[in-house]
Each structure stands twice: as structure tokens, then as C-alpha cells.
Amino acid sequence: MAQVFVRVLDELLDTSHVRCDPGLPPPGPSHHPTPQDRESSITGLQGPGYVCSALCGPQGPPLLLIGPHDCGKTALLFMAAVVAAEEGAGPVIYLSRDPLQKLPGAGKLARDPLILKQIRFLYPKTLEELLQLLSSLHLTSPSPYLLLLDGLELFLSPGCSPTDGAFLSALLLDSSTNLRCGLLVSAVPPSEVVDGVFMTVERYFPNQCHLSPEVSTDVEQKKYSIAYLNNLPERFLHIHQDGTLRIFDNQPNKIIEPNGQKIGGRRYH
Amino acid sequence: MNTVLPSVAEELIREIKRNFQETSQISDEHLLALKFIFGPTALQALDLVDQRSVTRVTSPSGRTTFQVTGSSGKMYTCYSFCHYCSCPAFSFSVLRKNESLLCKHILAVYLSQATGTCQERTVSDQQICDILLAKEL
């Protein structure tokens, strides 16, 4: 769910660290995306090749969060689950193949531990189990407010076909739209450049957010850029060794050469 | 089906619906436009609509989906809110080859809704799970 995801990023936003880099315009209201900008930029993207056309529910359009292993996707999804549970509008369903080993540390320091009771953690082991679960979501009462799936790629084994990827994506979208609940999915893209199954999945999710590692000499924290497919202003995620997450609107300590080329923040794939 | 087609196709379906409500038929002009946009799929889909092959399935919980009886008599599931059909042509032409926007069953769902010829069927909440999973019933 894009809106919850944006609220999570806003909560993690480190406003104490905003610094004007040489060569960049001074910070000001016009350089920070307004909530309206964010919402309009992450809704309604349609393009050639997309087969998805799921309607936006009241919680905004479904969002696919794509990034490598250990880039904080699980922590961000978990935070989205907690933030949605705190809103109290209904149950939150958190799907993952493997149980969470520890609670990701992020966001507000003081949270009511009882809020976790509002989150239903389900751990289907196979694609069949997951499909079964999604097809019977309407049997759960009350209807979920937010549906999260962490690690979609873990359910698509190398033997799966593009049809399997489409079936899973379509059932996720159809279920969440039918039940009018939000949908937030995370996935690790395949290492190969071309993968028919994952490409099919991406065709169902026009709204995507990509986490890409940033080159950094900092050993204490890992840095990632957060980019949307549709030109929403880029943000940066820093993950400290202790698992703490912080979000920056500008990349701190990024050096910009006079010709505008980034030195400290070059992105690679 | 509340889905978003490319705007030209979406507008055409809307026009067909509007026109059908007034004249109870699809005009030649609209038939040509269907053929132009969807190719041979258009005629096959119209055949399915003529044969009343599309059924909107609803369960007491409010969950809905569509079942379309194909030309061979086999039943396929088409989702209500997302382009997906359990037929082989959808897997091949739409997903693998990216040659078509949709299969004849999904187009038949659009057209049967535009022409008000969609059958209605109510099943139990348990039964619709199997239909969504496109299991043979």
C-alpha cells in the first residue's frame, strides 16, 4: 500500500541531517515533495506491456518494493504493518515464507507491544499454500485492512513458468481489490538480466519502488537509494549495523563535483 | 469488469455499452473498431457473448469472479479486477509473446457486461475459492 509505505518513510525521515551539497539548490519547501506530489506520483501509472489494471482501493494502489537481499525490505514492510495496525482500521495480514527471527528495529522508540496482536503472521511454505490462502481471504472476518507479502520471489522456484508468476500476482491484486484492502509486496529481483517469471510479475505492478545499493566507504552503515519508477523524488535509506533505519531526502556526505557528477552516491546494479 | 484497458479500447467498450442501451445492438462501426483493435479475438469473443458463455460468479462474502465457457466447452476463470484468464491463449499470447492485449475470454467478459448478457450465479464462499484457483469443478 503506497500510502502506508510513504507514512513509514516519513516516520523514518531524519530531518536533523539535511545539508546543502555544493552544486545543489538550497533546501526549501519547493525541494521537498508534498504529500500531494507523493500520492499523485505513485498512483495510476499505466504503460505499454502492463497487464495489471487493478483499481486503487481506499488505501491507494498496490506497491511492489524491489531490492537486493538485506536491504531493509523486511523491516520496511514490518513497519508498514505496525503503522497500519496502529491506525486501527482493521486486521493486518503479514505473509512470508520464513518466520521473522527478530523484530526489526526502526521508527518510534515507544510502541505499544500489544499492537502486534493486530497483525496476523502467516507463513505459507509453498506457492500452492500461498495461492490457497489468497483465494480464501474472503473467509476471514473482519476483512483485512492491509495485506503484505514479504519475499514474493521465494514462492517462485526456478521451475515456475511466467503463468505461475502471473497467477500469483493476479490473485494478490484481485483479492486485495475485491476486499478493498491495501497491498504491499516485496521481492528480490533475479540475478540474471532476463527472467520471464519476474518480468511477468513486474507487468502486474505498475507502481514499483526500487532500493539500490549506493557505493559507500562507510563501514558502519549500508546505504540505499529509494527510487520510484515514475520519477518521485529519490530518497536514501541508511541501515546501521544495529539494524536501525533512517531515511534522508538528500544523501548526507554526498560529494558533488562542479560538473554535477556524484562521487559518493553513485548507483550501481 | 472494473479494469483499465488502453484508453482507446476502454472508450470503445464504453461507447458500445451506451449504444447498446439505446439500440440493443452493436453498430457496424463499433464492430469494425473492435476488429481493428483486437484483431481476430474480437469475432471469437462476440461468438462467446452470443452463446451466453460468460457467467459472473458471486459468493455471499461479496467475492466475485467470472467463468467463461470456451468454444471447446471447457470452463475458464477470468478475474474481476485484474487481467488474468486461466486459458492457454492468455499464457501464450498475452504473457509469453506479448502479442495481444487480452484473450477472447476476457474480451467476452467486457462485451457481455457492455451488452448486459452476462449470466449470474451464486456459489458458496468455499466454492468460489476453487473457482478462483481455476480448479475443475
Cα gap A253→B118, rounded to integer Å = 61
Query: What is the chain A residue with the closest CA to B103?
Result: A51
Helix, coil or strand: residue A38: helix
**Residue bearing the bigger pLDDT, A27 or A105:** A105
User: Is A128 near chain B, with CB under 8 Å?
Assistant: no
Place of cell 439505446: B22
* A47 contacts A204 by C-beta, under 8 angstroms: no
According to the model, what pLDDT value does residue A36 have?
Answer: 36
- The alpha carbon of residue A93 is apart from the nearest alpha carbon of chain B, in Å, by 18
According to the model, what pLDDT value does residue A258 have?
Answer: 42
Residue A223 grid cell:
546505504
User: Is A204 near chain B, with CB under 8 Å?
Assistant: yes
According to the model, what pLDDT value does residue B1 have?
Answer: 45
Cα gap A19→A31, rounded to integer Å = 12
Question: Is B129's CB within 8 Å of A53's CB?
Answer: no
Q: What residues in B contact A61, CB-CB < 8 Å?
A: none
Compute the residue count for chain A.
269
Which positions ≥6 away from A250 have C-beta within 8 Å? A18, A19, A21, A24, A27, A236
Q: Which of A72-76, A98-102, A103-107, A172-176 has the highest mean pLDDT?
A: A172-176
pLDDT digits (tens, 9 = 90+) for A165-197: 999 999 999 999 999 899 999 999 887 655 788
Percent of chain B residues topping a pLDDT of 90: 81
Predicted confidence (pLDDT) at residue B2 exceeds the cutoff of 60: no
How does strand B119-122 pair with strand B54-58? parallel
pLDDT digits (tens, 9 = 90+) for A143-163: 899 999 999 999 998 888 999
Helix, coil or strand: residue B76: strand
Predicted confidence (pLDDT) at residue A35 exceeds the cutoff of 60: no
Residue B46: which of B98, B117, B99 has the closest Cα?
B117
* B100 contacts B34 by C-beta, under 8 angstroms: no
Task: Give this prediction's pTM.
Answer: 0.82
Q: What residues in B contact A178, CB-CB < 8 Å?
A: 62-64, 80-81
Confidence category of residue A41, pLDDT binned at 50, 70, 90 = very low
Type of residue found at B123: V
Across B65-104, b (16+ Cβ under 10 Å) vs e yields bbbbbbeeeebbbbbbbbbbbbbebbbebbbeeeebbbbb
Interface test with A, best of B59, B64, B83, B87 (most A CBs within 10 A): B83
According to the model, what pLDDT value does residue A2 have?
Answer: 63
